[in-house]
Amino acid sequence: LGYPLSEGDQTITLDIKPLRLLALDGIKEVIPIAKKLNLKIPKGFNPSDYFKNSLGIIRSNLKGELHPEPVELQTLEGSWIYDYLKEYPVHHSQEILFDDPEKRVLKIKLRVEVDDDLRQFLLKFSKEILVKSPNHI
Protein backbone atom coordinates (compact mmCIF):
# COMPACT_ATOMS: atom_id res chain seq x y z
CA LEU A 1 0.00 0.00 0.00
CA GLY A 2 1.17 3.51 -0.76
CA TYR A 3 0.15 6.88 0.62
CA PRO A 4 0.24 9.99 -1.58
CA LEU A 5 2.47 12.88 -0.48
CA SER A 6 2.64 16.43 -1.76
CA GLU A 7 5.83 18.46 -2.11
CA GLY A 8 5.17 20.70 0.89
CA ASP A 9 3.80 18.08 3.30
CA GLN A 10 5.33 18.34 6.77
CA THR A 11 2.78 16.33 8.77
CA ILE A 12 0.98 13.24 7.51
CA THR A 13 -2.13 12.03 9.32
CA LEU A 14 -2.82 8.56 7.98
CA ASP A 15 -6.27 7.72 6.68
CA ILE A 16 -7.64 4.66 4.84
CA LYS A 17 -9.28 6.57 1.94
CA PRO A 18 -6.16 7.91 0.18
CA LEU A 19 -4.26 4.60 0.39
CA ARG A 20 -3.40 3.11 -2.99
CA LEU A 21 -2.44 -0.41 -3.96
CA LEU A 22 0.89 -0.36 -5.78
CA ALA A 23 2.09 -3.20 -7.96
CA LEU A 24 5.76 -3.70 -7.15
CA ASP A 25 6.56 -4.71 -10.72
CA GLY A 26 5.16 -1.35 -11.89
CA ILE A 27 7.49 0.77 -9.75
CA LYS A 28 10.41 2.02 -11.83
CA GLU A 29 12.32 3.92 -9.18
CA VAL A 30 12.22 4.71 -5.47
CA ILE A 31 13.62 8.08 -4.44
CA PRO A 32 14.21 8.63 -0.72
CA ILE A 33 12.77 11.83 0.75
CA ALA A 34 15.50 14.05 2.18
CA LYS A 35 13.28 15.59 4.85
CA LYS A 36 11.77 14.13 8.00
CA LEU A 37 7.99 13.94 8.04
CA ASN A 38 5.85 14.05 11.15
CA LEU A 39 3.69 10.93 10.87
CA LYS A 40 0.50 10.79 12.93
CA ILE A 41 -1.18 7.42 13.18
CA PRO A 42 -4.72 7.76 14.56
CA LYS A 43 -5.81 5.29 17.22
CA GLY A 44 -7.42 2.30 15.54
CA PHE A 45 -5.81 2.89 12.14
CA ASN A 46 -5.27 -0.46 10.46
CA PRO A 47 -4.14 -0.70 6.80
CA SER A 48 -5.83 -4.10 6.42
CA ASP A 49 -9.16 -2.28 6.80
CA TYR A 50 -8.47 -1.02 3.28
CA PHE A 51 -9.43 -4.48 1.96
CA LYS A 52 -12.05 -5.60 4.48
CA ASN A 53 -15.03 -4.98 2.18
CA SER A 54 -13.44 -6.13 -1.06
CA LEU A 55 -13.59 -9.63 -2.46
CA GLY A 56 -9.96 -9.67 -3.60
CA ILE A 57 -6.84 -7.57 -3.27
CA ILE A 58 -7.81 -4.98 -5.85
CA ARG A 59 -9.94 -1.98 -4.95
CA SER A 60 -11.61 0.42 -7.31
CA ASN A 61 -11.67 3.35 -4.89
CA LEU A 62 -10.05 5.60 -7.48
CA LYS A 63 -13.45 5.60 -9.19
CA GLY A 64 -15.17 7.05 -6.13
CA GLU A 65 -16.29 5.99 -2.69
CA LEU A 66 -17.28 2.32 -2.43
CA HIS A 67 -19.54 0.92 0.25
CA PRO A 68 -20.30 -2.71 1.07
CA GLU A 69 -23.63 -3.92 -0.30
CA PRO A 70 -25.57 -7.14 0.26
CA VAL A 71 -25.04 -9.70 -2.49
CA GLU A 72 -26.95 -12.97 -2.43
CA LEU A 73 -25.66 -16.02 -4.28
CA GLN A 74 -27.35 -19.37 -4.76
CA THR A 75 -25.74 -22.50 -6.13
CA LEU A 76 -27.51 -24.33 -8.92
CA GLU A 77 -28.92 -27.68 -7.80
CA GLY A 78 -26.25 -30.37 -7.66
CA SER A 79 -23.39 -28.04 -8.50
CA TRP A 80 -19.84 -28.89 -7.42
CA ILE A 81 -19.46 -25.36 -6.02
CA TYR A 82 -21.88 -26.23 -3.21
CA ASP A 83 -19.10 -28.01 -1.26
CA TYR A 84 -16.53 -25.36 -2.15
CA LEU A 85 -18.59 -22.44 -0.77
CA LYS A 86 -19.31 -24.33 2.45
CA GLU A 87 -15.68 -25.36 2.97
CA TYR A 88 -14.01 -22.17 1.74
CA PRO A 89 -16.02 -18.99 2.36
CA VAL A 90 -15.27 -16.43 -0.34
CA HIS A 91 -15.44 -13.50 2.09
CA HIS A 92 -15.36 -13.06 5.86
CA SER A 93 -18.92 -11.64 5.74
CA GLN A 94 -20.32 -14.82 4.15
CA GLU A 95 -23.53 -15.89 5.85
CA ILE A 96 -25.50 -19.04 4.99
CA LEU A 97 -29.17 -18.19 4.41
CA PHE A 98 -30.34 -21.59 3.17
CA ASP A 99 -28.71 -25.01 2.95
CA ASP A 100 -30.23 -28.12 1.36
CA PRO A 101 -27.55 -30.84 1.41
CA GLU A 102 -29.86 -33.32 -0.33
CA LYS A 103 -30.33 -31.10 -3.39
CA ARG A 104 -26.91 -29.51 -2.87
CA VAL A 105 -28.36 -26.01 -2.96
CA LEU A 106 -26.75 -23.29 -0.89
CA LYS A 107 -27.87 -19.69 -0.60
CA ILE A 108 -25.37 -17.25 0.91
CA LYS A 109 -25.18 -13.53 1.53
CA LEU A 110 -22.03 -11.42 1.32
CA ARG A 111 -21.55 -7.76 2.26
CA VAL A 112 -18.94 -6.58 -0.22
CA GLU A 113 -18.02 -3.68 -2.45
CA VAL A 114 -19.48 -4.19 -5.92
CA ASP A 115 -16.37 -3.80 -8.04
CA ASP A 116 -14.50 -5.41 -10.92
CA ASP A 117 -13.08 -8.24 -8.76
CA LEU A 118 -16.60 -9.25 -7.70
CA ARG A 119 -17.89 -9.05 -11.27
CA GLN A 120 -15.00 -11.25 -12.51
CA PHE A 121 -15.67 -13.80 -9.76
CA LEU A 122 -19.36 -13.93 -10.68
CA LEU A 123 -18.60 -14.27 -14.38
CA LYS A 124 -16.11 -17.05 -13.72
CA PHE A 125 -18.74 -19.10 -11.87
CA SER A 126 -21.81 -17.96 -13.83
CA LYS A 127 -22.64 -21.56 -14.79
CA GLU A 128 -22.66 -22.61 -11.14
CA ILE A 129 -24.40 -19.80 -9.21
CA LEU A 130 -27.33 -17.40 -9.47
CA VAL A 131 -26.95 -13.83 -8.25
CA LYS A 132 -29.53 -11.78 -6.36
CA SER A 133 -27.98 -8.42 -5.78
CA PRO A 134 -28.01 -4.73 -6.59
CA ASN A 135 -28.88 -3.99 -10.20
CA HIS A 136 -25.45 -2.70 -11.16
CA ILE A 137 -23.52 -6.00 -11.02
Tell me, what's the pLDDT at 49? 84
Q: Which helix (H) or strand (E) holds 114?
A: none
| pLDDT above 70 for 60 | no
Most confident of 21-35, 74-88, 107-121: 74-88
pLDDT digits (tens, 9 = 90+) for 21-41: 888 888 888 888 777 888 898
Mean pLDDT of 88-102: 96
63 Cβ partners below 8 Å, 6+ apart? none
pLDDT given for residue 128 in this prediction = 95
Distances (CA, A) of 25 to 20, 29, 32, 98: 15, 10, 18, 43
Does residue 14 have a pLDDT over 80?
Answer: yes
- Residue 109 has what pLDDT? 96
